[in-house]
Structure 1
Amino acid sequence: MERFRVVYRIFADSAAEAMRRAHDVALEQTVEVPADVVPQGFIADEIVGKVGRAEMGERGVFDVAISYSPDSVGTELCQLLNVIFGNSSIQQGVKVVGFEPGATIAERFAGPRFGIEGVRARANRPKGGLISPVIKPQGSSPETLAEIAFRCVAGGADIIKDDHGLADQPMAPFEERTEKVAAAVARANAEFGMSALHFANITGRSDELVERAFFAKRAGAGGVLLMPGLLGFEIVQQLAADPAFGLPIMTHPSFTGPFVLSPETGFTHAMMYGVLQRLAGSDISVFPNVGGRFGFSAEECVSIADACRDPAGIGKPIFPSPGGGMSVDRAADMAAMYGDDVVYLIGGSLLRHGDRIGEAVTAMRRAVDAVPGAR
């Protein structure tokens, strides 16, 4: 049984202190007892994390790999995440910067059902970036949202994504909204020869989530949008692993900012929006784009895209999906930065075009296609 490894960035005054802290992490993430009371034999030899060497980067910054037994995880994603960064996430000066699943964990957690190739096949877009307008704003009626969706598909959209703020509000109740938007997308597909997919936003109590996802499928949605920062990663894995569901999943970054914004705690951007989303089973990972209103750097965004598409990553490579401040004017630069395998979110800026919103989507399509495989 092959152990899996987690690489922690530990902030310490010396290598000796970093190693001491790493041994504390190895205990904290597994047995959660002092070293002198760890039972000898199987628990000490297998369950307790095994600490590798400390590698110094910048002064006072050390990367240490700790390996763990798959027996400490079982088959639950929740427990895998708990071992990776449970109690230690509450400590200062420890950040997760890498994850190597090993053969055993990779077999237990298959990751995305569709990945890049599967989503492309469903959207009938064999090459080039995919265009994904976001229908909004909150407070609109189902009819208004459906009309926006129809016009965007007419303009060449590949994916119609619900805004993550569309839940089950009285202005546009979930079931009515989903039925009308899915019907509008289907009508536009038939009229304009498209294969656009509607991704319905799934929210609600834990006992409602699966049923709402299946309702969206019955209504004609081509995928679902989930927020693992709010709903948990388990619902992503549950739907991704269920062959009866069989729709692509897009994950949204809402509520995850505190996991990545500190330089000394949490996860790297690549881990949170690349590795963990892929591990859970997301096919498309949404994240804030550089130059938008959220402040991610170009380096951070590229690291996310690389983690999503890494051939050596867990399961199938998935689409990175930059959004937040995207516009037609930035399309060419973003295509040059991200290349072909990317889903571009366009949100509020599209609404400036009013009834000519479809023309703006067409312009985005042309701008993206003009820079094929630039990266």
Structure 2
Amino acid sequence: MERFTVTYRIVADDDHDAAARADAIALEDTVEIPRDVVPKGYVEDVILGRVEDVTPTGDAVWSARIAYHIDSVGHDLAQLLNVILGNASILRGVKAVDLTPDAALRARFPGARFGAAGVRALTGRSTGGFVCPVIKPQGTSSDSLAQLCYLTAVAGADIVKEDHGLAGQDAAPFRERVTACAAAVARANAERQEKGDQTQALYFPNISGPAHKIHDNARYARDAGADGLLIIPGLYGFDAMNQLAQDDELDLPIMAHPSHLGPYVLSPDHGYGHGMLFGQLMRLAGADISVFPNHGGRFGFSVEECDAIVADCRDPSGVGPAILPSPGGGMSVERLPDMQRQYGADCVYLLGGSLLRAGDGIGDVIRDMRRALTP
């Protein structure tokens, strides 16, 4: 019987303790009852998680693979996450580090709508990395933010992304801001086309607000001229992002921001592996672009952790099409050559706060980025 598998990093005292902890995960994430009262037949044979193997990997650390049947999930992404790391997230010394999908999981959860290739087609940028200025800070007026959008887009940006802190504040209310910024990017694109540029900038506003208004705000952004959406799944939920990704009428690419997700990866003994969360799960939940903190920036991810994220964004055996990694967090134009050597062309390169230092020369910085990222 085919099942998808999850690999866990388990901290234990010895082989017996590790095996017991693996059994506990299989129970907690499916039936959540004592093993001796699990009903025989369908519940025991199909629903109950199945421990495949438990292998020592280092001092007091074991790797456990547990297989789950799609029937324990149903058709809901939230329940899939509940099976992967639901009650097990409350157990000490348990960290989910890898997901191996089966055919049934792929069929029910198609992943990203556009993926890396789809986003490239939308921009018209056939080769090279993507230039992505971040429009900020909060407290700035809608007109001033729109002017930043225009200046970066007309200079050759591929994706004009709002900062995740731009929500519904009085300084730049959501609908007013989105309308102004979308118009500014459209004007810049028209000027680029007049000059013979076959590429265009895509505007990604931050979709925020009360949970029951997320879909309405996303549709408003689309109708106002937005070309994509920025979502914070750590605040609004992976399922909310997935619902937007699978909305045929909305039909927009999605960039996922990592805000609020740090505690899920920062502990070596709990939560998720970096690649699994920012690569596999973002992809599974419908993100076309996954933002994460680059190493050497202000957040402290390591080179190995960043490489794991990128590998899982691009893994051909992953769910749905490969998606675009997007490193950021204290980046500068001077770091682009090194970043490009590490991440390659299928990558969205963010530049935020340091971009504002350029003042009236912000367009020159974007052009410098474009030159640095063009083969």
TM-score greater than 0.5 by the shorter chain: yes
Q: 2:333 matched to which residue of 1?
A: 328
SS at match of 2:205: strand
Matched ranges for 1:192-271 at <5 A: 192-193=192-193, 194-271=199-276
Separation (CA, whole Å) in 2 of partners of 1:154 and 1:298: 33
Q: 2:100 matched to which residue of 1?
A: 100
Q: 1:123 matched to which residue of 2?
A: 123
SS at match of 1:208: helix
Q: What's the % identity of the aligned pairs? A: 55
Q: 1:19 matched to which residue of 2?
A: 19
SS at match of 2:32: coil
Q: 2:136 matched to which residue of 1?
A: 136
Q: Does 1:62 align with 2:62?
A: yes
How far apart are residue 126 of structure 1 and its match? 1.3
Separation (CA, whole Å) in 2 of partners of 1:124 and 1:2: 40
Separation (CA, whole Å) in 2 of partners of 1:264 and 1:80: 22
Per-residue displacement from partner, 1:285-311 (whole Å, max 9, x unpaired)? 000011110000111111101100111
The letter for the 2-side match of 1:47 is I
How far apart are residue 355 of structure 1 and its match? 1.0
The letter for the 2-side match of 1:242 is D
Q: 1:368 matched to which residue of 2?
A: 373
How far apart are residue 2 of structure 1 and its match? 2.5
Separation (CA, whole Å) in 2 of partners of 1:99 and 1:32: 21
Separation (CA, whole Å) in 2 of partners of 1:60 and 1:238: 40
Separation (CA, whole Å) in 2 of partners of 1:353 and 1:21: 54
Stretches of structure 1 that go unaligned for 5 or more consecutive residues are: none
SS at match of 1:345: strand
Separation (CA, whole Å) in 2 of partners of 1:126 and 1:235: 31
Q: 1:52 matched to which residue of 2?
A: 52
How far apart are residue 69 of structure 1 and its match? 1.0
Separation (CA, whole Å) in 2 of partners of 1:254 and 1:116: 22
How far apart are residue 198 of structure 1 and its match? 0.3
Q: 2:171 matched to which residue of 1?
A: 171
Q: 2:196 matched to which residue of 1?
A: none
SS at match of 1:264: coil
The letter for the 1-side match of 2:329 is G
Question: Is the CA contact (8 Å cut-off) linking 2:53 and 2:66 kept in structure 1?
Answer: no
How far apart are residue 265 of structure 1 and its match? 0.5
Separation (CA, whole Å) in 2 of partners of 1:2 and 1:277: 24
Q: Does 1:71 align with 2:71?
A: yes
The letter for the 2-side match of 1:152 is T
Stretches of structure 2 that go unaligned for 5 or more consecutive residues are: 194-198
Q: Does 1:319 align with 2:324?
A: yes
How far apart are residue 239 of structure 1 and its match? 1.1
Separation (CA, whole Å) in 1 of partners of 2:305 and 2:25: 26
Q: Does 1:298 align with 2:334?
A: no
Question: Is the CA contact (8 Å cut-off) linking 2:30 and 2:47 kept in structure 1?
Answer: yes
SS at match of 2:112: coil
Question: Is the CA contact (8 Å cut-off) linking 2:5 and 2:101 kept in structure 1?
Answer: yes
Separation (CA, whole Å) in 2 of partners of 1:100 and 1:53: 14
Question: Is the CA contact (8 Å cut-off) linking 2:291 and 2:328 kept in structure 1?
Answer: yes
Per-residue displacement from partner, 1:33-61 (whole Å, max 9, x unpaired)? 00111111111111110101212111211
Separation (CA, whole Å) in 2 of partners of 1:88 and 1:3: 19
Separation (CA, whole Å) in 2 of partners of 1:192 and 1:353: 22
How far apart are residue 15 of structure 1 and its match? 1.7
Separation (CA, whole Å) in 1 of partners of 2:226 and 2:2: 39
Separation (CA, whole Å) in 1 of partners of 2:225 and 2:44: 52
Separation (CA, whole Å) in 2 of partners of 1:150 and 1:242: 29
Question: TM-score, normalising length from structure 2?
Answer: 0.97
Separation (CA, whole Å) in 1 of partners of 2:62 and 2:175: 51
Separation (CA, whole Å) in 1 of partners of 2:128 and 2:56: 40
Q: 1:43 matched to which residue of 2?
A: 43
Question: Is the CA contact (8 Å cut-off) linking 2:205 and 2:229 kept in structure 1?
Answer: yes
How far apart are residue 332 of structure 1 and its match? 0.5
Select the residue among 340, 343, 346 that pairs with 1:341. Answer: 346
The letter for the 1-side match of 2:227 is G
The letter for the 1-side match of 2:369 is M
Runs (4+) of structure 1 exceeding 3 A deviation are: none
